[in-house]
Amino acid sequence: MELLTINNVWMMICTALVFFMHLGFSLLEIGLTRQKNTLNILFKNIFIVTIGLLLYSLVGFNLMYPGDFNGFLGFAGFGLDAPLTTEDTLDLTYNAGYTYWTDFLFQGMFAATAATIVSGAVAERVKIIPFMVFVILYVGLVYPIAGSWKWGGGFLQTLDTPFYDFAGSTLVHSVGGWGALVAVCLLGARIGKFKYGKIQAIPGHNIPLATAGVFILWLGWFGFNGGSVLSADPGVTSLTLVTTCLAAAAGGVVAALVSALRYKNLDLTMFLNGILGGLVGITAGADQMSTMDALIIGAIAGAIIVFAVSLIDRLRLDDPVGAIAVHLVCGIWGTLSVGVFGNLAGGTQFLSQLIGVITYAVFCISTSFIILYVLKKTVGIRVSEREEIEGLDAHENGMDAYPDFRLNDN
């Protein structure tokens, strides 16, 4: 009982840290975008967390963890139904590391993250109501079905060499990243991003807020990865926290260095995204890596960020916060790195990792395309030119995030 209590308390702390990450995502997004869209972005992020938890309680948790099923799709019923003893008290034999309620809440915090990734990529030009519909379908159905294939004991877990994704480089970050990529393609670029055949920078309005957001995300990742141990095991948990931290540091330093050599300036935003790229990269195998493995994985992720951001721009895809480069590209790298580094390195493991990457790519691209394409052809997914120029805060929300900053004409 005492061990269960210790494990459960640790898992609840990690749950709180993952919840705190949503503040980090919010600050990062508003910091890297323009003032006139601040309130709109915050509204979307709060909606994602609130509706995400409701949907996960109603259908998502039992879709993701359906128990016995055919490995592709299962459903254990609507709502939450905690296992009880014959005395109608909570059955504490549910899991050695945590209770049923803790399990739900920890996993529920993960569920909302996938849609938050999409939010940043489509910022400053997406209609809010169609985006909310997308979130409901993506978080309520797509994410839990995809998660069941690995974490719910589905077919990727039952391969001869099981696909491995410790904390979600693919199951969370790439799932969000694929959705973001499809959304950006269907939405088109912001007005002025690609002008006269050239790529134009659209600076964010508050880089200090973006920096605070990254530090909050880094802190939250201790819960994201540390909680994925699913207990307070001192050996695995402490190793996981160290590899997570080292990969983040290596990703940031290498991204800053490569960016400086390539562009001849010290770009703070590239530094920040390098840190996030390192975190995403280590997430698939944080419990399997040595400290040197973590440094290498993070460093490569940092370099990837610089070239991925540049490639995305050259492809005329407009991602205001670098979400596709960070979460999709580095998510793929982190997933494949499990087959290259750490305890699971080897040809068969790499093949399983590749199968997982391709599986989620096909599923997430097809589902997100169907949802967004239907919305585009029916209600539309992009605001008008006037609304985009004047700002989504005024037209979509009818408010101003910084009313005291406006000049008083009276």
pLDDT of residue 197: 80
* Residue 172 falls inside a structural domain: yes
> Under 8 Å CB-to-CB from 106, ≥6 apart: which residues?
11, 14, 15, 18, 98, 227
Helices and strands (DSSP H and E) totals, the chain? 16, 2
Q: How far apart are CA 273 and CA 28, in angstroms?
A: 10
At residue 84 the predicted structure's pLDDT band, cuts being 50, 70 and 90, is: confident
Q: Is 233 a residue whose pLDDT tops 60?
A: yes
Q: Assign 195 to helix, strand or coil.
A: strand
Q: How far apart are CA 218 and CA 216, in angstroms?
A: 5
* Residue 410 falls inside a structural domain: no
* Residue 408 falls inside a structural domain: no
Q: How far apart are CA 301 and CA 7, in angstroms?
A: 32
At residue 1 the predicted structure's pLDDT band, cuts being 50, 70 and 90, is: low
At residue 385 the predicted structure's pLDDT band, cuts being 50, 70 and 90, is: very high
Share of the chain above pLDDT 90, in %: 88
Please state the φ and ψ torsions of residue 302, each to the nearest 5 degrees: -60, -40
Q: Give the helix, strand, coil percentages of the chain, each rounded to 5.
A: 70, 0, 30
What is the extent of the structural domain holding 315? 2-401
* Residue 326 falls inside a structural domain: yes
Q: Is 409 a residue whose pLDDT tops 50?
A: no
316-333 pLDDT, tens per residue?
A: 999 999 999 999 999 999
pLDDT of residue 410: 40
* Residue 320 falls inside a structural domain: yes
pLDDT of residue 86: 67
The pTM of this model reads 0.95
Q: Assign 126 to helix, strand or coil.
A: strand
Is the separation of the CB atoms in 294 and 96 below 8 Å?
no
pLDDT of residue 59: 97
* Residue 205 falls inside a structural domain: yes
DSSP alpha helix (H) spans, 97-203:
100-121, 128-137, 143-148, 175-187
Q: Which single residue is written with the structure tokens 């009982």? A: 1
Cα–Cα nearest to 45, from 254, 301, 216: 216
pLDDT of residue 195: 87
* Residue 296 falls inside a structural domain: yes
Count how many domains the chain has.
1
For residue 100, what is the domain's CATH number?
A: 1.10.3430.10
Determine the length of the chain: 410
* Residue 407 falls inside a structural domain: no
Q: How far apart are CA 312 and CA 317, in angstroms?
A: 6
At residue 406 the predicted structure's pLDDT band, cuts being 50, 70 and 90, is: low
Task: Give the range among 40-54, 62-76, 148-162, 249-263 with minimum mean pLDDT.
Answer: 62-76
Q: How far apart are CA 301 and CA 25, in angstroms?
A: 19
